[in-house]
């Protein structure tokens, strides 16, 4: 017997909800695959960077194991979400108690898994920060590359001018001496007593790059998203269970 009244409205609400979740699951899976394929998917882009050479890949200066684990978690989470959406959609369309029951079970599993992931990320939060021993030589190489190409391309010149003016410094590791091979020194380096740029720029990058730094100041948004996802899953379990019971009472299987 077909569903009627409020149960019929709930059926079509579930169909629409599961279609949206299906799209979301495909998107999450795509992001996870992109993170695995593109090793430079996590990048630090500074405010005065105009060239890809001066973009620092987060994966180069952090524990790659944690980064890859996060990517695979997204893939698995996205794939399960697609399966859940498919089961929920088919279950609502066919008014199948069996499919809706399977959808409810998977929703409960993925909710429990998300709680576990949250605990895992909290425990591993320090490992998700950048490795300062890896970061310093990367920053040093980037600054030296910009110094070497200061008079060869506009991007290097603009980058070093921005860094040197902001931090009142000169060159990379040794100051004005770094420009010796170019046989010319920028005007700002003529000022006596200017320190090398490595230390101040390294400290700037170290305090800005990384997962913890990204979320600092954004915790309200992050908590809102987390609570929103948790609320959506709980609501989905409740609606699925209600619809499953309605189908059972109607005599459909």
Q: What is the pLDDT of residue 51?
A: 43
Domain count, the chain: 2
Structure tokens at 146: 């910009």
Q: What is the pLDDT of residue 45?
A: 44
In a shared domain, residues 182 and 165 = yes
Secondary structure (3-state) at 182: helix
CA-CA distance, 44 to 152, in Å (whole number)?
Answer: 24
Residue numbers of the chain with a pLDDT score lower than 70: 1-5, 7, 38-67, 121, 124-132, 191-193, 209-227, 251-253
Is the sign of the CA dihedral 184, 186, 188, 193 positive or negative? negative
Q: What is the pLDDT of residue 48?
A: 47
In a shared domain, residues 10 and 100 = yes
Q: What is the pLDDT of residue 224?
A: 63
In a shared domain, residues 115 and 168 = no
| pTM for this model (two decimals) | 0.57
Q: What is the pLDDT of residue 46?
A: 47
Q: Residue 184 is part of which domain span?
A: 133-206
In a shared domain, residues 171 and 101 = no
How many residues belong to the chain?
Answer: 253
Q: Does the residue 1 lie in any domain?
A: no
In a shared domain, residues 182 and 70 = no
Q: What is the pLDDT of residue 147?
A: 87
């Amino acid at each position: 017997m077909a569903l009627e009244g409020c149960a019929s409205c709930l059926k079509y609400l579930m169909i629409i909800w599961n279609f949206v979740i299906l799209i979301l699951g495909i998107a999450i899976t795509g992001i996870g695959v992109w993170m695995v394929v593109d090793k430079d998917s996590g990048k630090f882009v500074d405010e005065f960077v105009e060239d890809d050479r001066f973009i620092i890949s987060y994966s180069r200066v952090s524990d790659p194991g944690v980064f890859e684990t996060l990517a695979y978690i997204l893939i698995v989470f996205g794939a399960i979400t697609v399966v859940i959406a498919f089961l929920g959609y088919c279950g609502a369309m066919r008014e199948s108690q069996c499919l809706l029951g399977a959808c409810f079970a998977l929703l409960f599993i993925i909710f429990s898994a998300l709680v576990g992931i949250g605990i895992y990320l909290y425990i591993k939060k320090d490992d998700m920060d950048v490795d300062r021993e890896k970061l310093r030589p990367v920053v040093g190489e980037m600054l030296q590359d910009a110094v070497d190409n200061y008079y060869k391309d506009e991007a290097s010149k603009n980058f070093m001018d921005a860094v040197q003016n902001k931090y009142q410094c000169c060159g990379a590791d040794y100051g004005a001496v770094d420009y010796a091979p170019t046989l010319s020194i920028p005007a700002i380096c003529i000022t006596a007593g200017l320190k090398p740029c490595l230390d101040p720029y390294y400290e700037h990058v170290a305090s800005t790059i990384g997962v913890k730094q990204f979320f600092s100041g954004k915790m309200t948004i992050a908590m809102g998203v987390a609570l929103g996802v948790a609320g959506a899953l709980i609501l989905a379990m409740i609606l699925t269970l209600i619809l499953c019971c309605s189908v059972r009472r109607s005599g459909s299987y």
